[in-house]
Structure 1
């Protein structure tokens, strides 16, 4: 994507016509088959096979739950875990796929242990233990194939932890506003820490790539936006909404900074989250004391116009930032 932005900037700077721009793209190899296409297909097939194999075994155990004894169930899951871990250690070419199979079997084993012995642990503790035990596996594999599902596991653990400490509800209530805000702020901090660990500053230690960071940014944006929107459920705007808005603006400012770490995909995800919060905020303001928005076409028209203008401004700002960073990107390449 950065290469395309650079070519567009060069075409605009030197006034190239359509034919010259197409020739420049051909020279850059944009219309050719990737040189490592066969390797990517084989790797993708192996990953798909590992994922389907692990899930298939777990589903088979679940389907034969009543016919298998306790020890055969444990033996199957532990054998899968051990064999996939050993194979990942001694087969470097297939390590990401086998490590993914090991991570999935680890989750299945923990779930089966919790259901069999009824330890009384909360659901979030199971996901937290899964993430903690899977961390050495991710550090050893150093692949987005492991880090992306690990980010999903961590986000699920954080969401379940917050749900447990809020009594099974996310809605903000004025009576316990301070306690709820404290729990949600801790959850936001945990999500931020996850992004930091998967970010470029720790990339040399973790091996997590840009794909994982984009996926984690999408998870974090969805989580923070969902919690922030609960601050609009009452008659008054709760601090959760403002906290989510501030976090989104801060994250967007960091991603948009002038550095090689600029990423258009992450910034687009954050812009979408901010647009959602702002549109819902304006909708809440327009509906105060006036009933439902569906009863007033004029207010609906105003809300639609605001959403359209906000979207246009966001796209314009993103394209301007992309052109601004195309120069440094080209110099780096």
Structure 2
């Protein structure tokens, strides 16, 4: 019998909480190794090297075009980019379905798709905005992502989709993606996109991913909490961002109920807790703005006490076995 990573973590959590005695833990170790063995290290290295190789090959294609841009004819460029995409597709067809090589090949196909689109945009100046390139990239790679059911492919898709939205919302070419951070509706739209992705992985995670790990749900949650936290912090100082405080309060309350009661997840609760501390610290700074001494010492004391209390509470949850399944 081989314990999975999640099962090993759960056994150690139970032992730390005193639920399992040392003899019981040793008995569990007799059924399967409790620490990673050579097979586990090979499993990790297979995935790391496969996806790392696909990423480096994709980057190599992009840099090859950049270095030889003037020396290559446009049809030679298209041929090389299409050959890279075709090669990744053939590798995926040849590899066993749902295997490491299959998912890594589709990851390479996602990168090659973006390179081909960028090549078309550079060769034929259509006047399209940059956000349209990212939106088309996200749309065209989505079938590969759905087919692979890989966290790496989904992470790439989520990053590209967010870049497309941020660039579409940006009003200034100077600030590029960061211009969207100065508008409340932009922050809410970014949070809404990531919230839709979060709900999809919470409800359909078994269909969208090969394993039960919660990395993508947590990554999407960061995309929800960070823009709402920025909006809430700005809401203490700018009248135009006041609604950001309400949106953050609603999201934090809903997230606390969901991940504290329905699906216990310490990582999600930690994200919400420290985001709330950041928002409350900004509010306290606004309140003590006219009192330099109190602001300097009071803010430091509040951050220390609030962070310590949150860390103590989260540690208790973690030791109680509430780290969340599929961590």
Into which bin does the TM-score normalised by the smaller protein fall? 0.7 to 0.9
Shift, 1:183, TM fit: 4.7
Match of 1:190 in 2: 193
Pairwise CA RMSD of aligned residues? Answer: 3.3
Match of 1:216 in 2: 220
**2:299 corresponds to 1:303:** yes
SS in 1 for 2:139: helix
TM-superposition CA deviations, 1:245-287 (whole Å, max 9, x none): 432332233222244xx33223323333222222223223322
Please report the TM-score for the alignment, with normalisation by the length of structure 1.
0.80
Alignment of 1:23-172 (within 5 A): 29-33=33-37, 35-92=39-96, 93=99, 94-164=101-171, 169-170=179-180
Q: Does the aligned pair in 1 maintain the 2:180–2:187 contact within 8 Å? A: no
Match of 1:202 in 2: 204
Shift, 1:70, TM fit: 1.5
Q: Does the aligned pair in 1 maintain the 2:281–2:299 contact within 8 Å? A: yes
Q: Does the aligned pair in 2 maintain the 1:89–1:95 contact within 8 Å? A: yes
Relative distance call for 1:279 and 1:83 in structure 2 (3 A) is same
Relative distance call for 1:162 and 1:2 in structure 2 (3 A) is farther
Alignment of 1:281-292 (within 5 A): 281-287=283-289, 290=290
Runs (5+) with no aligned partner, structure 2: 1-5
Relative distance call for 1:255 and 1:185 in structure 2 (3 A) is same
CA distance in 2, matches of 1:221, 1:327: 19
Shift, 1:111, TM fit: 1.8
CA distance in 2, matches of 1:164, 1:249: 32
CA distance in 2, matches of 1:61, 1:327: 46
Match of 1:314 in 2: 310
Q: Quick check: 274-283 or 22-31, which moved more?
A: 22-31
CA distance in 1, matches of 2:203, 2:294: 49
Q: Does the aligned pair in 2 maintain the 1:5–1:323 contact within 8 Å? A: no
CA distance in 2, matches of 1:129, 1:223: 24
Relative distance call for 1:37 and 1:58 in structure 2 (3 A) is same
Shift, 1:73, TM fit: 1.4
SS in 2 for 1:103: helix
Shift, 1:4, TM fit: 4.0
